[in-house]
Structure 1
């Protein structure tokens, strides 16, 4: 007797699974909203202790990709609020902070040359504009300053940004140099 195994579930099961994942993802985004944007983690004792209940530049921008065009007015407004919160705390040099306190009490830039928050913020801004939840001119002065700051990090004129050690998404990993990702 031979058994038949299918590597993938029937289409109706897969569609149901995708719908369930979509619903759960949108609910998680809603749970992590604050009046000033999307938090990097849900408010648990451990997250509060580690200061993950902040609006992190990279994490918020990635969430903006999901929230923009979601059709959920609350999430689309939160996408704008998140980008606004980061733009308000932009450094004079153009750098976008690694995180901002949702109550506007502080912002942190990690250290000089930490590029990921600025790069991801620019991606989030572009995405919000493309989906029409923000006008094309919104954040333009901040975008110009962010790009100028990033160009100042590109010393060799390769058009690749130089990244300091352990300054990418895996903050504790010892990688550095010219990167195609962050």
Structure 2
């Protein structure tokens, strides 16, 4: 199964490879026939893991497309449409996409690391520096954590806003990746300050001045970091993507990391799919944040309980959990996650669906989704070919 699944995943990535970069899906769905920042970089990481020259070249094309369409103030496009009929650049829908900026920086640095060529980072230096300045501005209060609008990242129809954990972690990863090449004391200091603020505000019983002490003291912390907080308080769902990044970036004490790993592993094992839900538990109609969830959609409501961002299961997200397991030496557990990703991707004759209903295992969203394939490639190559991302 693993060999078949791997080759099917590689073939899908080849199908979405264009001269301008990776498309989000091979399905003929207009909004997915674009070069997306986060999708493109995640597919690019899989390209590096695969060692496939054509896919690696497509990753470079993806980065070039994003760089060429950077906004004058530093924003990286959420997505770019390039066709014979028209070209169109989007920096976000209902809100701008903060994570497009950090994924771009990560992508450039991962590509340079793979090529062992610091000149690649220099090639994009002006775009990266402009992006870093924009991230500083998005703190607003100059206290080291980004302030992210509702709908401001990949979970664009979910309830997270304000100081969103996922975006703080991507910023650390981006800064660390860039600092691998430039070796700046200023960046080293910034990484430490952001990390400290994450630990103070997202982990229980850590000493230090809180952003929102009253709200912090009202939270019943679990064995993971909550997904976000804002002036209105904390949202305490488990964010599988963010907490996988917590593990990859080694944030928090060894004891906390162990508790987090055990929580995530147990949660995955208790679902029908054997995969982590994107966020957990689901938001239901009688919950405090249901109206916020219900109204945060531009076209049609998709976040029914156990679907899409509202506790749906995404192979892409589980790919990063698999990478986290490998980084912790948990190869047996990572192998299990890879098997479950492959089983999900194989549904309906390897249709590589975007996500699945965690309760029923039914398919959801777009088929032939490139980053669902990327997840399988990343975990497979990390397990069997010792592929390592720059962290």
Tell me which interval the TM-score lies in, with the shorter structure as reference length: 0.7 to 0.9
What is the aligned partner in structure 2 of residue 169 from structure 1? 154
Corresponding residue number in structure 2 for 1:55:
35
**Where does residue 15 of structure 2 map in the other structure?**
31
Q: CA deviation at 1:180?
A: 2.2
1:92 aligns with 2:72: yes
- Let me know the Cα RMSD of the aligned residues: 1.8
TM-score by length of 1: 0.82
Secondary structure of the residue that 2:122 maps to in structure 1? Answer: coil
Matched, 1:151 2:133: no
Structure 2 unpaired stretches of 5+:
168-391
Tell me the equivalent position of 1:41.
25
Say whether 1:109 aligns with 2:91. Answer: yes
| Structure 1 residue 85, shift from structure 2 partner | 0.3
1:132-153 deviation per Cα after TM superposition (whole angstroms, max 9, x unaligned): 1762322111111111111110
Partner of 1:10: none
Moved over 6 A (4+): none
> Is 85-94 or 103-112 further displaced after alignment?
103-112
The TM-score normalised by the length of structure 2 is: 0.39
Task: Classify 1:93/1:180 alpha carbon distance in 2 versus 1 (closer, same or farther; 3 Å).
Answer: same
Shift of residue 113, structure 1, vs aligned partner? 4.6
Query: For 2:166, what is the secondary structure of its paired residue?
Result: coil
- Structure 1 unaligned regions, length at least 5: 1-16
Q: Is the 8 A contact 1:113 1:153 kept in 2?
A: no
- 3-state SS, counterpart of residue 14 of structure 2: helix
Give CA-to-partner distance per residue, 1:44-94, whole Å, 9 cap, x none.
2xx12xx21000111111111111242211001000000100110000001
Show the counterpart of 1:5. none
Q: Specify which structure has the higher proportion of helix.
A: 2
Q: What does the per-residue CA deviation read over 1:81-127, in whole Å, with 9 as the maximum and x for residues that have no partner?
A: 00100110000001101100133711011166520111111111111
Q: Report the Cα distance in structure 2 between the residues aligned to 1:147 and 1:136, rounded to whole angstroms.
A: 14
Does residue 126 (structure 1) correspond to residue 106 (structure 2)? The answer is: no
